[in-house]
Chains A and B, each alone.
Chain A
Amino acid sequence: MQFSVDKNNLLSHIQKVSKVSPTRSTMPILNSILFDIKENQLTLRSSDIEITMNATLNVNGKEDGAVALPTRIIYDIINEAEEGELILSSDTEGACTLKSGKGVFEIMGRPGDEFPSLPKISNFNDVEIENSTLRRMIQKTIIAVSKDELKPALMGVLFQIKRHEIRTVATDGHRLVCLIRQDFQNEAYEGEVIIPVKFLNLLLGYLDSEGTTLLSISENHVKVELDSTVIYSRIIDEHFPDYESVIPKDNDKIISMDLNSLLSTIRRVVIFSNKTTHQISLSLSKNITKISTVNQESRTSADEEVDINYSGDDMVVGYNAEYLKEILRNVDTNNVILKLKSSISACLILPEEQKENEDFTMLLMPIRLNE
C-alpha cells in the first residue's frame, strides 16, 4: 500500500473516526484505524464492534492495499506532523513507513484483513428526518438513558416510527422521557428500534443545523451517511418495557411554577441533602411549596419556600434532587407544570405549553418518605 495526502485533510478524517476507536479493548485490533487504499480513494475505518465508522477521502494512490495502524500513535504523529504532504507506505505484514518533511517514522501495524469487516446488512429502510427535529428528539431523551449494563434494553433510546408520527422514549427505571412529533412524514417504514446511546452521542456531534438526515434501519443495524462518513451501529435487540402503561393519565394535582426559581432553590437545598440519596422533599400547600431536606448524618438541613399556582390538598412528596434537576433543565418554557397523584406514584413534568405538533412528557418516580 502506498499513497500521499495533505496532512490537514487526513488529520480531520482521522479525528472523526478515532472517536469510535475504543481506548481499551479485549480485541487489540480494535485499538487501531484501518487504512484501505483503492486507486485514489482512501477509506478509514474504526470500530468498537458495536459501532463502525467509515470515512473516505481522495488521495494520491500509488499502490492498493490495507493496513491497520494503532489509533493513538497515528493520530499523534499526524497531528504533530509538519504542514504539507505525507507519504504513507506499508508492506503486507503491516509494517508502515510515514514520511513527512524530513522525518521518517516507522509504525508497526497489522495486516488490513485482520480488521473486522463492515457489517453485512441488507434491506435497509430509509427514514428521512429533519436535522433540527432529530437533534431535539435525541437531546431531550438521552438524559434518561440507563447506564446499567444489566438492563440492556434501557441503554438506548427507543425510536417508534409511524407514517405521520415519530417518538423517542428513554427511561432508566426511575424517570422517563417521551417526545412525540407529529410534523413528520415517512411513507416507507413503520416500526421501532432501540438505538444505543453511544451512537446517538456520536451522531449529535455531526448533525448540521440545517437539512435532513437519512436514518437507515435494518433488522440488526442502523446506518447514517453524513457526507464522506458512514456510521453503522448495532441495534439493541431487547424488548423495551411497556412505557405507555406507566404514564399516568389521572394525575389531578396540578402545579405550575416558575422554572428558574424552582431550579435555583433546588440547587441550594441539595447542598444539604444526603450524599447518596440526594433526597429532598416538596411540601405542597395552597400557592406555596416548601422545599426541604434533612441529612441525619451530618445534621444539616435546609428549607426554602417557592411560590406556586396550586389549589389542591396539602401533600408531601420526596424526590432525588439530581434526577429532578436534570429533568427540569430539560424544560424549555418559563413555567413548568407538575402533575401529581400521590406521594408514591409517578409525577408528570411538562412544559407550560407544548410546541406545535409536539408532545413532550417527562416522568419521575418519587422517593418514599417514611412518616
Chain B
Amino acid sequence: MSKIKILSDQLTNKIAAGEVVQRPASLVKELVENSLDAGAREITIVIKSGGKALCQVIDNGDGMGKDDLLLAFERYATSKIATTEDLMAIRTLGFRGEALASIAAVAIVNAVSAEKAAESGYELRVEGGSFRDIKPIAATSGTNISVKNLFYNIPARRKFLKSSDVEFRHIIEIIRKFSMIHPQVQFTLIHNDKEVFRLRPEELIDRVVNLYSSEYRGNLIRVDETSAGMTLSGYIGNLNLVRARHGDQYLFVNNRFVSDRLMNHAINTAYSKLISRGEYPFYCLHIQLDPAAVDVNVHPAKMEVKFREQNSVYRFLEDSVKSGLKVIMNVIPDLARFAPEHYYAPLPVNRKDQPDQELPDTEKEMIEAQSPSSNHDFLSFPQTRPESQAEMPLHFSQGRPVGQWTERARRFVEQGLPESQVDYRPDIPLYQLHNKYIITQVKSGLVIIDQHVAHERILYDNAIKAMSEQPWRGQQLLFPQIVELSVMDFSMLLDVIPFLEKIGFSLREFGKNTVALEAVPAGMTWGNESTIIKEILDHYHEFGTKDTSIQSKVAASYSCKAAIKSGDKLTEEEMRNLVDNLFATQNPYFCPHGRPIIINLTIKELDKRFERV
C-alpha cells in the first residue's frame, strides 16, 4: 500500500480553514464580505464572547435559494466568478469560493437564507463540515448565518484564541473598515446582547465622525482626484488628527481594504514635512481603478494587492494627498531647509552617507555623543530588547539591519559601566546640553545621559513598584474630565483601568464609550489630563498584543507620557535629582523601550581622539 494518500475533503477543508479563518474577526470579515457582495443595505453583526461563542451576520441582501445554499458550503463554490477571465476583472470582495466551506469545517454553522421574490427561505445546518439537514423556514429576504463554537473540533486552535476582549477588538476593527468604505450601508454591532453601535446610512464624513468623535469633523480634508483611469476619494486628517500610533489609516482599493506598505509610504511621504517620526496621520482613502490593473488574488486574506502600474499608482497617491495638504502646507515654512545638521560643524567621520559602515563601537558612541540632534539616524531602536520583550513597531527598525543593534545592545549591557565608574559626586557640576542631554564627569571620563529616557526609566520602575506593592495616591480633581473614546479605545481602557488605578488615576464609566477622569497621580503636573489618557492608550496600543504583561505595558506607556521631554529646561537641582534617582533604578542603562540612557565616553577614548596616544 502506498504511503501517500489523497486527503479526504473534510481534512483538506480543515487545513484550508487555517488560512482563511484565523480568529473570529476573520470569520466576520468573510461573512460581511458575502453580505456586501449580495448587495445588502443593512448588516447586523451579533457577537458573543468576542466571537468565540457566536458570530452571527444578518443581512438584507439578495439571499440564496435551496440549491445555492447547499452549494455555498462546498469548497470552490462561488457565484462570483465563473471563468479565468473573470479572475482578471474581480469587482466583488470574495471570489475564491473557500470561505464558507472553511468556516463550516471548523464550527457549527446555521444558515438561513431567502431570495427576494421567494415566499419562504431555507435553513441549513452544517457541523464540522458535514451537512446535517436543510429544511424550509419562514424568512424575510436576505441571509442570516450564525457560526457557533469556532474551532470546537480543533482544540489546538481554540487554545490559541485570545481573550474575548482582544478578539472583540479585532472584530470592531474589521467592521470599522467595512463601514468606512460602505457608508451607505447600515451596520449594527451587538456584543453580549449589548448594542455597541448602530451606524445608519450616511455620508462618508458623517461615518468617520460617528466612528471616531465629533472633533474629527472640523479636521478632515476632502480628497477627490482623477487621473489616467484612477480616482482617489475620501478624507485625510490635518495635523490635529495626527496620533502616536498606526491604525487609523485606511486605504481601500476597489472597495477592498488593503495594507500595502508601498502605498502607505506614498501617503506618508506626502505628509513627511508636516509630521515627525512616530506620528501617524489619519486617512481614509479609496482608490478606484480598472480591476484588470490590480491583482487581488495574492493572499487568501486578500489584504495585499498587486498593482500592474505600481509606480504610477504611487505617484498618483502621493500627488493627490499632497495637493489635499496644500491647505496646511502653505502656512508652514519649508522645514526641510532647517535641517538640524546645518547647525553643527562637519564631523570627522562622514557618517551621514554611510551610517551603517562598520565603525569600531567606541567610535560610534563618540559620534553619537557629538551630534545629539541627528542621533536618530544612529540610534534606531533595537529589535530585541534586554528588558521587555514587547514587539517593536516596524517603523522603528527602518533602514537598519536588525542584527547589528541587537548585538550592540547586548554588548552594551554586558559591559555596562562597572560599579566603580559611576562615582559621580554631588560637588561635580552637571551640564544640560541643548535642553536634551545631561553631561557629567565620572572617574573614567564623562557620561552623557538622555534626560527623557532617564526619567522614563525612573517612572517606569516606580510605576511597577506601585502596581505590585504600594499603590500611588491620586489627587482628586475638582472638575472631572470627560474623555470620549472610540469603541476600540474604550474596550482597551477597560483592560488597563485596574493598573491605571494603582498609579493614582481614578476613572468612572460615564455613558457610552465615555469615562470621567476623577483623579490623577498626585504631584504630577501634566496639563491636559484627558489627552494623557488617550496618549497612554495610543502608546499601549502601539505595543501590540505581545506577551509582556499588561502591567509593564501600562507602566511603560505611563512613564513615556509622564516623563520630562527633551527640550525641557532643567535646573541644576532637578538634574541632580534625576541622575541620583536614575542610578537607584534596576537598569539605568536602557529605557523600557530599549533605548540607551547613558553613553560613556572614557578619557582613554578622548585621548585617542585628540591623538595623544
Contact = CB atoms under 8 A, between A and B. Distances in A.
A246 B476 contact: no
B527 interface: yes
A102 to B, nearest CB: 44
Interface stretch (A69-77, A146-154, A196-204, A219-227): A146-154
Interface stretch (B419-427, B449-457, B466-474): B466-474
Contacts of A174: 475-478
A143 to B, nearest CB: 15
Contact of B506 (A151, A363, A368): A368
A266 interface: no
A176 B473 CA distance: 21
Given A246-B478, A246-B479, A370 B473 contact: yes
Contacts of A246: 478-479
Interface in B553-601: none
Interface stretch (B409-417, B517-525, B535-543): B517-525
Contact of A173 (B471, B472, B477, B504): B477
Given A149-B527, A276-B523, A278-B523, A366 B479 contact: no
Given A276-B522, A278-B523, A368 B476 contact: yes
B523 A175 contact: no
Contacts of A150: 527-528
Contacts of B522: 276-277, 279, 320, 367
Nearest to A148: B527
Contacts of A366: 476
B472 to A, nearest CB: 8
A369 B473 contact: yes
A312 interface: no
Interface residues of B, number: 19
Contacts of A369: 473
Nearest to B522: A277
Interface string A353-371: 0000000000101111110
A365 B475 contact: yes
A241 B476 contact: no
Interface string A223-258: 000000000000000000100001000000000000
Nearest to A276: B523
Contacts, number: 67
Interface string A152-194: 0000000000000000000101111000000000000000000
A278 B504 CA distance: 14
Given A148-B527, A149-B527, A279 B478 contact: no
A134 interface: no
Contacts of A367: 473-476, 522
Contacts of B506: 368
Contacts of A148: 525, 527
Nearest to B479: A241
Q: What bracket does the count of chain A residues touching chain B fall in?
A: 20 to 34
Contacts of B519: 344, 368
B476 A344 contact: yes
B523 A277 contact: yes
Given A148-B525, A150-B528, A277-B523, A296 B479 contact: no
Which of B519, B522, B528 counts the most A-chain CB atoms under 10 A from its CB?
B522
A195 interface: no
Interface in A286-306: 296
Contacts of B478: 171, 173-176, 246, 346, 363, 365
Contact of A277 (B470, B473, B528): B473
A200 B454 CA distance: 39
Contacts of B475: 174, 277, 320, 365, 367-368
A111 interface: no
Contacts of B476: 174, 344-346, 365-368
Highest count of chain B CB atoms <10 Å: which of A149, A276, A366, A367: A367
Interface string B496-531: 000000001010000000000001001111011000
A151 B528 contact: yes
A61 interface: no
A317 B406 CA distance: 50
Contacts of B523: 274, 276-279, 320
Given A171-B478, A176-B478, A368 B527 contact: no
Contact of B479 (A149, A173, A344, A345): A173
Contacts of B524: 276
Nearest to B519: A368
Interface in B159-177: none
A109 interface: no
Given A173-B477, A274-B523, 8 more contacts: A149-B527, A174-B476, A175-B478, A241-B479, A277-B475, A279-B473, A320-B523, A368-B504
9 smallest beta-carbon distances between A and B, as pairs = A276-B523, A150-B527, A277-B522, A277-B523, A365-B476, A368-B474, A370-B471, A150-B528, A367-B473
19 contacts: A150-B527, A150-B528, A151-B527, A171-B479, A173-B479, A175-B478, A176-B478, A277-B473, A277-B523, A279-B523, A318-B473, A320-B523, A344-B519, A346-B476, A365-B477, A367-B474, A367-B522, A368-B474, A370-B473
Interface of B: 470-479, 504, 506, 519, 522-525, 527-528
Interface of A: 148-151, 171, 173-176, 241, 246, 274, 276-279, 296, 318, 320, 344-346, 363, 365-370
